[in-house]
Structure 1
């Protein structure tokens, strides 16, 4: 499978998420153990470089496994990683994004304490900052299921189930990747609470999701978020009227993601 870029803007028509993968149904050589790393607040470039290192190592192992299979040897299981972090204020623009959707020039960026990166995921521009739970799964989907659209729905569903624990009814909007409040057709004020953008190379993923927990939403006023002009952005703090510990949200999200993937964690 060649590299694919999936955007934070468009997606196929929404379908109900498929049943979780049964852990007992794994095939020989599949590894559903996921190494979780909680990185705290860390610069965007640092984590991007780390993702690229993990991706490259997994792809190299898959290449060696292919040669081993041709020689009649047993493959070595590929690893899976989940990086959880927060970032200092940063705007990222995907490959299909429009630079004009960033409404700040270089000096204004500096004045707001923010940086800017063009990156290799699909989609347009988004913001990451303190108080936002960012998750970067570097998973070999050969260990789970080889369906990138199902994978995106799994990420969305894990967030939807987590928000339900806080009394927030979240869901999907047809044609728009991510998780929304007031998502029903005809709802007066649809608000995005979680953005997603994914790259997949030979079934190994990188990039991921960004859930606004206590995010400073004023930063979204300096961009056209994900290129969408007619819908708002929100956070758990704004909706609930109180600050929520990001680590608490992490701890609630992890079991949902494991269930939907049929994964186990090495923490």
Structure 2
């Protein structure tokens, strides 16, 4: 039983502080105490060296993933803080296309500490797939789905497509602007054979990557002065979002008229 419990606590040890045990010491001054090291001391020291706050004596050290994201830097709008939030939701990400995507919070913290301005590249086919469409068509489909009361997952906007080859865009008026619907994993890739390449929506799944917005809050996005980077039209919430199946989005896109709507 003890072995089983130790195995279950393996991951928790990385995310929660185990209070040090006090022990009596001969000759200890009145009111004082010594601290007996715990098996997790090395983890806490590593967190401190990486920039995480060290817990004070007797203080509760909260290291829930979302709290880590909030406390990662003085500014919660930093790219690193946003990357930590995505990873905490189970979205594998990397700071470039060459690096292996990960959800490990320590690894994410270190990666964006080294390259704080790096984009957030997410791997498709693990936590979600993506249905990408022309921005005008995508906005029309989004309005239709909202009116029908369809529960959607996150929806993002980008100037050069969700899997871009360029690093900058021209803004909302760019005809290359695209909208990406995050959908249930595996459902987009399964329908690829039904879509002729270059003639309709792009279905992204295993092996593809998308660039995610560097900030979650839309108002903070505008204050940051990012005119053409990816941004959320429907931002993900604090809990793991529910993704619709790809065919739900494809059906709305098939019925959507080819006309632009005002920015949502």
Q: TM-score range by the shorter chain?
A: under 0.3
When normalised by structure 1's length, the TM-score is 0.27
TM-score normalized by the length of structure 2: 0.28
Higher strand share: 1
The higher radius of gyration belongs to 2
